[in-house]
């Protein structure tokens, strides 16, 4: 997907050839420049200054940024030669990945550069909250010596609940185990056996809330996790609970947290992230039992250096046409043109599969059928895994770490290819076996000259629906009136139906309604539909 570099601008082998140009738009570590090496012309600009950025980006092959430079559609349109946007960090809020993909520009980041720093900050916040470090320090600065007021608690032999056992969650668990803590975790996408190997006991969220003396959140921010820890959950917690959120703002409901801290429902909190950032005015900052930092998880010299070096290496790989492990929108390397259109479809199938399964599969087959099997379709297996894990782990998922994530969670993955495809020119199916032996499947294809994406099968039911940003699937016993009931409830909730498909195995048997809608369906509306049609399964998928 990268734009071809003219022959005279390829990586330098003689002094007469022009060097590819790399624009560094923000201050990066000297190690970043060293990692790029001598084969590039290095330029600098102030990326935060649009008047300086737009002309500077016009004739460069790659740009390296941190968080202050916006690489949006306007900047991409001005960059006539651009092949790579490299974000020296994890977050990509300042890079328009969709516009870059449409322009054929690779986007890379440094997904693991900050995991140690983030884990250490979570532990620091936990210790600071447990020992009242922030208010005790403030008291001393005010000339007050209040030892008795700030008596704290030990971590030793206490129970800590880790919400989200991804890479950062695992690092936190390891560090807190060394403190002599008992570690439990909630993560439906981790196999119990895998957790047990780490000395962690998997529990449901209610159990974690009831048993935890300390709690640390390490989840990605998705429609399903926003507000996951709210008033209802905090009411189930111990009054001695110390809660830490150094993952994403909004996962913990800040208003509910304030009430719980103010009333003594829980003891203390350590916060590094907030629903709206930058955040300098929050009621939480008024409380002595809150220690807060301004999103410092990745703010260490080591993390910044790791990020710079990692993206410098990715730029070298990309501009030489090699596989780029940390590409977030393309795999890099040589992919057959007939295979490329199936990559985003397969990623979406992976995300739909995860939503349908509601847990990690013990085994997953990525089945590819049809003409494209004449080519190497290994990238579709990687795309499927990238989609499967994108919404359930805190880490950035790439084509290289996706298989590792599957292995860590005990998922056996198999790529199955078959040249024959009776009903479609090409067909991609994800078929997984869950812990209870049940199976989940979803299939998709590309149709017409425009290669439009379609979902054509869900759990054995034939459908034909576009995988838009917001989807929903309702399984129920086939009987009259159910489609009207679903439509009526959605209408009352002001959710507009863009497309609907009804499928059944036989008259009076099991039926499935597949919907594409214009906006996310609220949780209470899903619950109302589930009760009204006595659904055996209700699943919503948000692909935005």
CATH number of the structural domain spanning residue 524: 3.30.1330.90
Contact 451, 458 (CB under 8 A): no
Mean confidence (pLDDT) of the chain? 90
Instruction: Note whether residue 517 is domain-resident.
Output: yes
Q: Choose the catalytic residue: 132, 194, 218, 295.
A: 295
Answer yes or no: do 430 and 526 share one domain: yes
Q: Which of 292, 322, 354 is the last residue of a domain?
A: 292
Q: How many domains does the chain have?
A: 3
Find the mean pLDDT for residues 312-327: 82
Answer yes or no: do 41 and 163 share one domain: no
Answer yes or no: do 106 and 150 share one domain: no
∠ Cα 347 349 354 (to 5°)? 100
Length of the chain, please? 544
3-state SS track over 397-416: CCCCHHHHHHHHCCCEEEEE
Contact 247, 219 (CB under 8 A): yes
What does the DSSP 8-state code read for residue 3?
A: P
Find the mean pLDDT for residues 74-90: 93
Q: Choose the catalytic residue: 87, 132, 218, 248.
A: 248
Contact 328, 97 (CB under 8 A): yes
Q: Give 12's pLDDT tier (boundaries 50, 70, 90).
A: very low
Instruction: Note whether residue 318 is domain-resident.
Output: yes
Active site residue 295: yes
Burial tier of 76 (Cβ tally within 10 Å: 0-12, 13-18, 19+): buried
**Of 60 and 341, more confident:** 60
Answer yes or no: do 122 and 231 share one domain: yes
Lowest mean pLDDT among 81-85, 243-247, 449-453, 467-471: 449-453
Cβ atoms within 10 A of the Cβ of 135, count? 16
Instruction: Note whether residue 453 is domain-resident.
Output: yes
Answer yes or no: do 308 and 373 share one domain: no
Q: Judging by DSSP bridges, how do beta strands 470-477 and 510-517 pair with one another?
A: antiparallel
Answer yes or no: do 362 and 445 share one domain: yes
Answer yes or no: do 433 and 530 share one domain: yes
pLDDT, tens only, 493-512: 999 999 898 998 888 889 99
- Residue 364: phi, psi to the nearest 5? -135, 125
Answer yes or no: do 41 and 162 share one domain: no
Q: Choose the catalytic residue: 154, 277, 302, 418.
A: 277
Q: Is pLDDT of 337 > 80?
A: no
* 3-state secondary structure at position 91: coil
Q: What pLDDT does 17 receive?
A: 57
Instruction: Note whether residue 297 is domain-resident.
Output: no
CATH number at residue 54: 3.40.50.720
Nearest to 83 by CA among 162, 4, 170, 159: 4
DSSP 130-198: HTTHHHHHHHHHTT---TTTT-----TT-EEEEE--SHHHHHHHHHHHTTT-EEEEE-TTS-HHHHHHT
CA distance 446 to 543: 18
Instruction: Note whether residue 340 is domain-resident.
Output: no
Q: Is pLDDT of 381 > 70?
A: yes
Query: How many alpha carbons fall within 13 Å on the CB side of residue 51?
Result: 0
Q: Is pLDDT of 114 > 60?
A: yes
- Rounded alpha-carbon distances, angstroms, from residue 152 to 147, 267, 299: 10, 11, 27
As beta bridge partners, residue 183 has 160
Instruction: Note whether residue 399 is domain-resident.
Output: yes
DSSP 244-312: EE-S-TTSB-HHHHHHHHHHTSS-EEEES--SSSS----GGGG-TTEEE-SS-TT-SHHHHHHHHHHHH
Answer yes or no: do 520 and 460 share one domain: yes
pLDDT, tens only, 191-204: 787 788 889 999 99
Range of the domain at 201: 115-292
- Rounded alpha-carbon distances, angstroms, from residue 20 to 8, 72, 322: 9, 22, 15
Q: Is pLDDT of 123 > 90?
A: yes
CA distance 525 to 493: 7
Answer yes or no: do 259 and 404 share one domain: no
pLDDT, tens only, 161-173: 999 998 899 999 9
CA distance 248 to 448: 40
Answer yes or no: do 53 and 162 share one domain: no
Nearest to 284 by CA among 316, 308, 265, 257: 257
Q: Is pLDDT of 453 > 60?
A: yes
Task: Give me the torsion for CA of 214, 218, 219, 225, rounded to 10°.
Answer: 30
Instruction: Note whether residue 196 is domain-resident.
Output: yes
Omega before residue 278 within 30° of 0, cis: yes
CA distance 157 to 115: 25
What does the DSSP 8-state code read for residue 18?
A: P
Q: What pLDDT does 7 receive?
A: 42
Share above pLDDT 70 across residues of the chain, in percent, rounded to a whole number: 94
Q: What pLDDT does 384 receive?
A: 94
Q: What pLDDT does 9 receive?
A: 39
Active site residue 248: yes
Find the mean pLDDT for residues 475-499: 92
Q: What pLDDT does 448 receive?
A: 81
No. of H helices and E strands in the chain?
Answer: 17, 22
Q: Is pLDDT of 321 > 80?
A: no
Q: Name all contacts of 189-197 with Cβ < 8 Å and 24+ positions apart.
A: 189/354, 189/359, 189/360, 189/389, 189/392, 189/393, 189/409, 190/165, 190/360, 190/408, 190/409, 191/360, 191/362, 191/409, 191/410, 191/411, 191/435, 193/410, 194/408, 194/409, 194/410, 195/165
Instruction: Note whether residue 2 is domain-resident.
Output: no
CA distance 328 to 335: 15
Active site residue 457: no
CA distance 162 to 183: 7
Answer yes or no: do 323 and 393 share one domain: no
């Amino acid at each position: 997907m990268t734009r071809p570099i003219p022959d005279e601008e390829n990586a330098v082998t003689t002094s007469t050839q022009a060097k590819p140009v790399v624009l560094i738009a923000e201050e990066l570590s000297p190690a970043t420049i060293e990692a790029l090496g001598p084969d590039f012309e290095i330029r600098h600009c102030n990326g935060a200054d649009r008047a300086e950025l737009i002309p500077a980006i016009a004739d460069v092959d790659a740009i390296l940024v941190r968080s202050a430079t916006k690489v949006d559609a306007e900047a991409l349109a001005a960059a006539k030669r651009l092949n790579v946007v490299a974000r020296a960090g994890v977050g990509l809020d300042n890079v328009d990945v969709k516009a870059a993909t449409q322009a054929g520009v690779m986007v890379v980041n440094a997904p693991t550069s900050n995991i140690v720093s983030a884990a250490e900050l979570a532990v620091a916040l936990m210790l600071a909250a447990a020992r009242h470090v922030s208010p005790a320090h403030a008291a001393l600065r005010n000339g007050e010596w209040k030892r008795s007021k700030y008596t704290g608690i030990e971590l030793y032999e206490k129970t800590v609940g880790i919400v989200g056992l991804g890479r950062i969650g695992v690092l936190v668990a390891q560090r807190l185990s060394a403190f002599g803590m008992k570690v439990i975790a909630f993560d439906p996408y981790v196999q119990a056996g895998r957790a047990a190997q780490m000395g962690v006991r998997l529990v449901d969220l209610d159990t974690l809330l009831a048993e935890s003396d300390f709690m640390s959140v390490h989840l990605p921010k998705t429609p399903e996790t926003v507000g996951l820890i709210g008033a209802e959950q905090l009411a189930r917690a111990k009054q001695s609970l110390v809660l830490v959120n150094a993952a994403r703002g909004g996962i913990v409901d800040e208003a509910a947290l304030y009430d719980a801290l103010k009333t003594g429902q829980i003891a203390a909190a350590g916060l590094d992230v907030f629903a709206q950032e930058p955040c300098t005015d929050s009621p939480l900052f008024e409380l002595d039992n809150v220690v807060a930092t301004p999103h410092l998880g990745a703010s260490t010299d080591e993390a910044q250096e790791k990020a710079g070096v990692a993206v410098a290496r990715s730029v070298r790989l990309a501009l030489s046409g090699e596989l780029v492990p940390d590409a977030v929108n393309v795999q890099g390397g040589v992919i057959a043109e007939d295979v490329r259109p199936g990559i985003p479809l397969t990623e979406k199938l992976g995300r739909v599969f995860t939503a349908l399964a509601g847990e990690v599969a013990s085994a997953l087959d990525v089945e590819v059928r049809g003409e494209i099997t004449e080519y190497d379709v290994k990238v579709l297996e990687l795309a499927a895994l990238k989609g499967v894990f994108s919404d359930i782990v805190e880490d950035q998922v790439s084509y290289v770490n996706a298989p590792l994530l599957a292995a860590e969670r005990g998922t056996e993955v198999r790529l199955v290819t078959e040249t024959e495809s009776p009903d479609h020119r090409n067909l991609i199916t994800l078929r997984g076996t869950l812990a209870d032996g049940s199976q989940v499947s979803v299939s998709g294809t590309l149709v017409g000259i425009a290669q439009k994406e379609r979902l054509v099968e869900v759990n054995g039911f034939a459908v034909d629906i576009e995988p838009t940003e917001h989807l929903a699937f309702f399984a129920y016993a086939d009987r009259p009136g159910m489609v009207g009931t679903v439509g009526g409830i959605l209408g009352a909730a002001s959710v507009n139906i863009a497309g609907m498909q009804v499928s059944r195995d036989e008259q009076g048997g099991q039926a499935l309604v597949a919907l594409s809608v214009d906006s996310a369906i609220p949780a209470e509306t899903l619950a109302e539909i589930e009760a009204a049609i006595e659904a055996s399964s209700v699943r919503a998928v948000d692909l935005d």
